[in-house]
C-alpha cells in the first residue's frame, strides 16, 4: 500500500505542476479585454495551485529522492522563471510551491 501511495504522490506532483503551468499559459494567452475569460482562467490557475499545494504537503517525506532530483518536477531555473513571469504578466504565481520542493536538500516542505 505504501508503494501505491508514494507512486501516486509522485505522479500527482508531476501532473499537478503541468496543470498549474498550463493554467498560467491559458491565463496569459487571453487578451486583456476579455475580462470574463481572464477571470475564469485565473480561477483555474488558483485551483490548480491549491491542489498542487495539497499534494506537496501530503508528499512530505513520502516521495523518492530520485523523483525530487530528477529534474522532472522542477529545475534550478523554475523559481526564477516563475518570478520573472509574474513580474512581466502581473499574474500572481505562487512560486513558494516550487520552493517547497527543493532538490538540493531532497526534501518536500
pLDDT tens per residue across span 41-83: 999 999 999 999 999 999 988 887 788 888 888 888 888 999 9
Give how many domains the chain has, as a whole number.
1
* Model pTM score: 0.82
pLDDT at 103: 60
Closest CA to 96 of 57, 47, 39, 41: 57
What value does the CA radius of gyration of the chain take, rounded to a whole number of Å?
15
Distance CA 84, CA 74 (A): 16
Q: Please give the residue range of the domain that contains residue 14.
A: 2-108
Mean pLDDT score of the chain: 87
pLDDT at 67: 86
- Paired with 102 in beta bridges are 107
Q: What single string gives the DSSP state of each residue in 6-28?
A: HHHHHHHHHHHHHHHHHHHHHHH
Say if residues 45 and 91 touch (Cβ distance below 8 Å).
Answer: yes
Choice between 109 and 94, residue whose per-residue pLDDT is larger: 94
Amino acid at each position: 500500500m505504501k508503494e501505491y501511495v508514494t507512486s501516486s504522490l509522485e505522479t500527482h506532483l508531476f501532473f499537478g505542476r503541468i496543470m498549474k503551468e498550463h493554467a498560467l499559459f491559458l491565463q496569459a494567452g487571453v487578451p486583456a479585454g476579455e475580462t470574463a475569460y481572464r477571470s475564469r482562467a485565473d480561477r483555474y490557475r488558483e485551483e490548480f495551485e491549491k491542489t498542487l499545494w495539497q499534494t506537496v504537503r501530503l508528499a512530505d517525506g513520502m516521495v523518492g529522492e530520485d523523483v525530487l532530483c530528477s529534474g522532472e518536477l522542477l529545475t534550478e531555473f523554475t523559481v526564477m522563471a516563475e518570478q520573472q513571469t509574474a513580474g512581466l504578466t502581473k499574474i500572481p504565481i505562487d512560486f513558494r510551491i516550487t520552493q517547497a520542493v527543493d532538490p538540493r536538500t531532497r526534501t518536500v516542505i
